[in-house]
Amino acid sequence: MGFADYRTSLEEGRYLRVVNYHNTPASTADQLREELTAYAEAFASVTVADLDRFYATGEWGLDRPGFIPVFYEGYRNNHTVAAPICDELGLTAWFPIITRFVDCPPDEQRAFADAHDIDLVEEELSYDRLALTWDEVAEIGRRHVVVPHTGSHSPIGAIVTAADVERELVEPRRRIQEVTGQEAVANVYLYGTPFGTSDFQDRAVLDAGYRYQISNTMIQRIA
């Protein structure tokens, strides 16, 4: 695909805008609703089926540019703030969750977050828990896309053994699928490394069954 093709796609609205969010505490709910309302008015909400159709046929199939809001980590406020606002606006959001963060007993979640580059906000530090429960993950998965953000917020360079692959790529996908009853279609590394940078990890991602990889600059169809 050459530059002229890209330009034509942009001019015709055949592109996808992905906006990444992390913590969305209650104090930011009004701002988040305002932002997402503007996106919902200008863009079409994109589902996994929409992406699958585009990659299979090359047909965009939407009347506007596409939009996916992505909420990272698996914070409790994914369930109390982000998902309800997306529901109000009819947006399909993607939630990459750190499965071992969700597994943590509530009294260990702050220590886990501190040890695994998971940013917290002051207003929530006194809460009885910081992460989603698996029941909340299942509820979010009824309307939205839930995928692993690895088991423990791992960068690609930390996955070097078969045990690492099982802990960070295979088991998180299996667990999310068991809980949601939906396919966990995408892998996401800490720091957003794209597919195609390392043969070992690329093969591990494919063998685990993922079809997409989310990076800092793109959603890649990998299978």
pLDDT digits (tens, 9 = 90+) for 143-156: 999 999 999 999 99
Could you tell me the two tokens for 206? 């494919």
Q: In the predicted model, what is the mean pLDDT of the chain?
A: 95
CA atoms within 13 A on the CB side of 29: 13
The DSSP-derived string for 133-187 is: PHHHHHHHHTTSEEEESTTT---GGG--SHHHHIIIIIHHHHHHHHHHSS---EE
Q: What is the pTM of this model?
A: 0.94
Euclidean distance between CA atoms 40 and 102, whole angstroms: 29
At 187-204, the pLDDT tens digits run 999 999 999 999 999 999
> Between helices 171-180 and 134-141, what is the axis angle to 10°?
70
Q: CATH top-level class for 14-221? A: alpha beta
Cβ–Cβ < 8 Å for 148, 185: no
For the segment 27-34, the average pLDDT, to the nearest whole number, is 98
